[in-house]
Amino acid sequence: MEDSTQNASSKLKSTNGPVLTTNQNSSQSSTENPPPNKNNNNNPREKKIWKPNYSPILLGCCGIGAGWTNIFITFPINKFSFRQQVESTSPQQAWLNLKSYFRQNHLPKNILYVYRGCSIPLVQKALANSIMYGSYSYTRNELSSRHQNLSPNIARGLACLAAGSFESILCTPLERCQAVLQDRRHDTKFRGLRDVLSWHSTKTDPKRLKSLYTGGGLIVLRNTITTFNYFMIRDWYKKNCGDGITIAGAKLEDGYLKHAVFGMLSGAIGCTISYPINTIKNKIQTSLTVKSVGETIRVTYSKNSDSFHRGFYYGWRVSVFRSAISWGIQNSMYEKLITTFSPDNQSSS
């Protein structure tokens, strides 16, 4: 009887031993990694989506390559839409203006005219994409590590605001020069970027800086909105569409076509939301005299009372097409580059 009791006691001890050990480990693990609170249930899953797996430098370089591919393909469409915005004209009238120029010149000069000012977007896109992909991921990772209870949407918004602000500091002077060069009213006054910079150099220091940074506040607002929209859609589909999506009965697997489709969606939505901001920004930046945002909005609204959009969406149809193509190319090309150059050939978020 004693033997059986001892055996039972021995079995009980041997059984309870691992359980106690397991419970201790579990307790220790839960102490080291406390479960997220009720308001922050999505944070661990969110981190897997946006936390950079690679160096921000690699992310930035891949963003530059994707942006340059995008610029060479979509710049002519962007220029066509830009002229509609600035001149408040229909697509037919903008095309007639271009045709009249093409008829007067030969093909090489026409091609150079179409890509006039393209060097500025190439530099701008290199800076913008390196900041957007590199700075955004770094900033959001820092916010998550220092403020663990921060809502994912707030963290995303703050990271987008930081990336948009950094980008505007570097890119606003480039956008200002590009806007002046693209406006046909300045074709005879400025032949290239050097002429625009020379014109700015004739101003005194405070006025020169103010002129170069014309529309800077609008650019911060636009960048924050479009970056937030892009990464919100990107985070969502990478989290929920890992097995692919089905469109019109055809399933898109986890390949570059899927990234292109969601890139096009984010481009179309971002363009539509930010288009009035871009319209006001372009009108202000193309002017060689100082214009306030309020005055430009009032004049645009009053001069286009016959249109349902009051002049703020001239050129939108062309621009939304260009933006969808642009972001589709950029998103899929970015995935291609990051997968090619990553050490383990895995897609980064």
Confidence of residue 88 (pLDDT cuts 50, 70, 90): confident
What would the DSSP string read from start to end of 75-116?
Answer: HHHHHHHHHHHHHT--HHHHHHHHHHHHHHS-HHHHHHHHTT
Average pLDDT over residues 260-278: 94
> Which pair of structure tokens corresponds to residue 145?
């590590």
Could you give the CA distance from residue 16 to residue 313 in angstroms, rounded to a whole number? 73
- Given a cut of 80, whether residue 270 has pLDDT beyond it is yes
What is the per-residue pLDDT across 102-138, written as a single tens digit (0 to 9) for each? 888 888 888 888 888 787 788 878 888 888 888 888 8
Residue of 251 and 131 predicted with greater confidence: 131
Superfamily (CATH H level) for 39-341: Mitochondrial carrier domain (1.50.40.10)
Nearest to 238 by CA among 224, 258, 212: 258
- Given a cut of 90, whether residue 143 has pLDDT beyond it is no
Domain ranges of the chain: 39-341
pLDDT of residue 264: 94
pLDDT of residue 157: 92
pLDDT of residue 254: 58
CB 77 within 8 A of CB 139: no
pLDDT of residue 244: 62
Residue of 294 and 42 predicted with greater confidence: 294
pLDDT of residue 263: 93
